[in-house]
Amino acid sequence: MSLDGVNLDRGFFQFTVPYHWLNWIGWVIGLLMVVGGLATFMSGGGIIAAFGFFVIALLSPASLETDLHNVRKNAPQPDDLEEAALKNGHEMESWFFGRSSYSPTNDPNDWILPAPGPSTWNKVDRYAPDGDGSALAEHPTKVGTPIPATFATFGISMVLFIILLSISLGTLILAEQDAVANGEILEADASMKYTPLVMSIIGVIWLIIGFFQHKKQQQMIDTPTSLVRSVSVGSAELVGQVRPAPEQWINVVVDGNPRRMIPGCVDFRWEYEVYVCRQVTSTDSDGNTTTREECNWRNVRSDHGNVPFMLHDGTGAIRVESSTFKKKNLGNFVKQWTSNHADTLREHFKTEFAARLFSDGDVRKHRWTAYALRIGNPIYLLGMVKPRSRDELAHEGLDGSIGHTAISVHGENSPGMKANIQRGTELANLGRIRSSAELLIMPIVCLLCGISMYSLL
């Protein structure tokens, strides 16, 4: 399995459609909204068409995402990695108690190309290269750096959404101005006059977020990836596979329940939440009272932890001091459990009592969600490579004669580089990004539309 036939430089425009059937349903609904809205544009259908484009944009994958998903789906994994993997999909553990678990069937942070399994790793010398010492199949020195299309379906759809929404809102502003001029409503009741300000504020906030996201992506694209066997002291970008350090790994027992265990973790975070519902009563200006149910998830407790691990890129391994990294992206959750009840009666009544006392509500569901970086996972990091002390080397029985055994990676920033750890290779992480043009042009269009609306007031 390789990337033959997959063009990693997508050029100016790439038309993309969903690759999951659920997204396809929403995408078609959005397309029908566009067609129906444009057909009734003169009758106020512009807003419907605008939100149709918005739905299409949200459900359209990035320019490289579909091709990389297909390669990942067809790539064989070693038997020992498959055995260590968590069971994918939904599993009903107890119908009576409403207990179920779910592991995502599509992990966008997983390997795209085949990765070496534990049976092929050097158990005697963890720092030694694999086989002939060449880099992993998915290493940037082999596959290159992907470049997203300048515009994809997402970008074009979002621009059309902003323009159509602005035209429709502008029409409503003019209609309201006519109503004020004809004395049909008072100036104080004209709510559309705040629309230009709201759109301008949204555009500014969106532009700031897009700018920082653009900087983060460009740092990943522009920074050359070092090979472990030749990495030098200083800031570095590394891509490889998580393998155990002498500290081994953690078998995480989520919230103390052995039924909820995530094995082989070097970094983890879990959250326990309850779904609380309460009755909210409101009274309108005419004195009419309505009651509605309001529900939301609330965090009860959480935990996190880590141990040092080895990053192995095929040419050798380097020790990573995980606890020194403040910025970590563990990707999508690896497993999630839901239940109608807590683990014990005491815990169940405790959460129920707290919900009634503090929010006058009741607990309907319990949910535990686990995020983890596990042995065998792909990893991308930016960090500071520093020499190890003699005591550290002696503790592992190393003499430091081989360069990458005498250094380790720490989560320290350097000028122009923010240290971080991300689950997934550079190819996996960049394969899902939007282009810089999409990140910056769309908020600029939103800001300009908001400013242009002031001329209507």
Who's near 175: CB < 8 A, 6+ residues apart? none
Enter the tokens of residue 298: 């609330």
Is 441 inside any structural domain?
yes
Q: Nearest-CA neighbor of 169 among 46, 261, 279, 55?
A: 46
Kindly state whether residue 56 falls inside one of the protein's structural domains: yes
Nearest alpha carbon to residue 310 among 238, 365, 257, 370: 238
Residue 356, in any domain of the structure: no
Interatomic CA distance for residues 8 and 323, integer angstroms: 34
pLDDT of 340? 85
Distance CA 215, CA 222 (A): 10
Per-residue model confidence (pLDDT) at position 105: 79
Range of the domain at 40: 1-75+149-223+435-457
173: its two tokens? 């502003």
Q: How far apart are CA 53 and CA 55, in angstroms?
A: 5
Q: Does residue 55 belong to any structural domain of this protein?
A: yes
Distance, in Å, from the CA atom of 303 to the CA atom of 268, rounded to the nearest integer, reads 8
Instruction: Give a yes or no: residue 210 inside a domain.
Output: yes
Predicted pLDDT at 378 = 95
pLDDT at 189: 60
Does 252 reside within a domain?
no
Position 345 scores a pLDDT of: 67
**Cβ atoms of 364 and 356 closer than 8 Å:** no
The pTM score is: 0.85
For residue 457, give Cα distances in angstroms to 52, 180, 228. Answer: 28, 12, 62
DSSP string, 162-192: HHHHHHHHHHHHHHHHHHHHTTSS-GGG--G
In a domain, 53, yes or no: yes
Q: Please write the tens of the pLDDT for every residue from 327-352.
A: 999 999 999 999 887 777 677 666 76
Structure tokens at 386: 């520093």
Q: How many domains does the chain have?
A: 1
DSSP letter for 65, please.
H
User: How far, in Å, CA of 49 to CA of 38, rounded?
Assistant: 6
Residues of the chain below pLDDT 50? none
pLDDT tens by residue, 4-19: 778 888 888 899 999 8
* 208 part of a folded domain: yes
Sign of the dihedral defined by the CA atoms of residues 173, 179, 184, 186, in that order: positive
Residue type, 203: G
